[in-house]
Structure 1
Amino acid sequence: MVDQAITQADVAEIRALFLRQAAAESAHDIRGIDAVLARALPGQSDPVNFVARAYRFWGREAVLEHFRSVFEGTWRFEPEMEEIKVLPISADVAHIFAPTNITTGLAGGSETTYRFLVNEFAVRTHDGWRIASIVPVPAQ
């Protein structure tokens, strides 16, 4: 971790990271998801988690497996661009808040769109900013 304040350039990088994640989700691009998630340094705990009302996934591989599963059907992740907020927590952690429409459905079946208040936490790594935590909260 680097000991410095979050700059406007960091905020722009974090926002771009989130938008890459959104694009990868809608494109069912598992390599794109893999690229935005944080990686643990040797000897450190895996920082990645995805916690929702219906389920919890602990660790990068569990989160990637979740996405592999939902990508078998309909999955679109469409944040409200003008509502995305990046809020610094510390020099190495930022909270991303994004009201988002998520459309899901089984392959070949009907689709349903839900509105979520997506909360994510980005961490500064040696490879740049990466996503460590995903917490979608139903908006209804």
Structure 2
Amino acid sequence: MKGEKISTGVSASDIDEIRALFLRQAAGETAHDIDEIDAVLARTPPGQPDPVNFVARAYRFWGREAVIDHFRTTFAGTWKFEPDESAIQVIPLGPDVAHIYAPTRITAGAAGQQAATYEFLVNEFAIRTPDGWRISAIVPVPVK
């Protein structure tokens, strides 16, 4: 009906859990903690499609192991992931999926090279799993 709000099935506590999940990921990235990255990414039962991907302008990684390997390589150099916590938005898209939007400063540099800081509009998708909410897709968009 026109003007009637449709429930997504995502509660306020789900929103809090998704936000906390994203902040765990951010802290894990800055700490170069591959175990934390492993913990926040979605897992699927054997035989099910792998929902994890990381798509950026310069590269694409399909599947959870490829994304984890990307972070292993990245963590060999300088990597800081600093979202603007006051600007994080969690937008429910359905009962089991939500979009996370976070303006983020990323400081990066290959091992032994000078690091630089960039601004990104990070977009991620969290899905509800038997283990709780987990990250499925990461899509950073450079501001400039």
Identity %: 67
Structure 2: distance between partners of 1:67 and 1:106: 12
Can you give the 5+ residue segments of structure 1 that lack an aligned partner in the other structure? none
Deviation at residue 108 of structure 1 after TM alignment: 3.0
Can you give the 5+ residue segments of structure 2 that lack an aligned partner in the other structure? 1-7
Match of 2:76 in 1: 72
Deviation at residue 109 of structure 1 after TM alignment: 2.1
Letter in 2 for 1:135: V
SS of aligned partner of 1:95: strand
Match of 2:13 in 1: 9
2:104 aligned to which of 100, 105, 108? 100
Please show how residues 1-140 of structure 1 align to structure 2 within 5 Å: 5-140=9-144
Structure 2: distance between partners of 1:51 and 1:108: 26
Deviation at residue 42 of structure 1 after TM alignment: 2.4
Q: Once superposed, which parts of structure 1, at least 4 consecutive aligned residues long, lie more than 4 Å away?
A: none
Once the two structures are superposed, residues 25-49 of structure 1 have per-residue CA deviations (whole angstroms, 9 ceiling, x without a partner) of 0000000000000001222100000
Structure 1: distance between partners of 2:14 and 2:110: 37
**Normalising to structure 1: TM-score of the pair?**
0.96
Structure 2: distance between partners of 1:19 and 1:77: 10
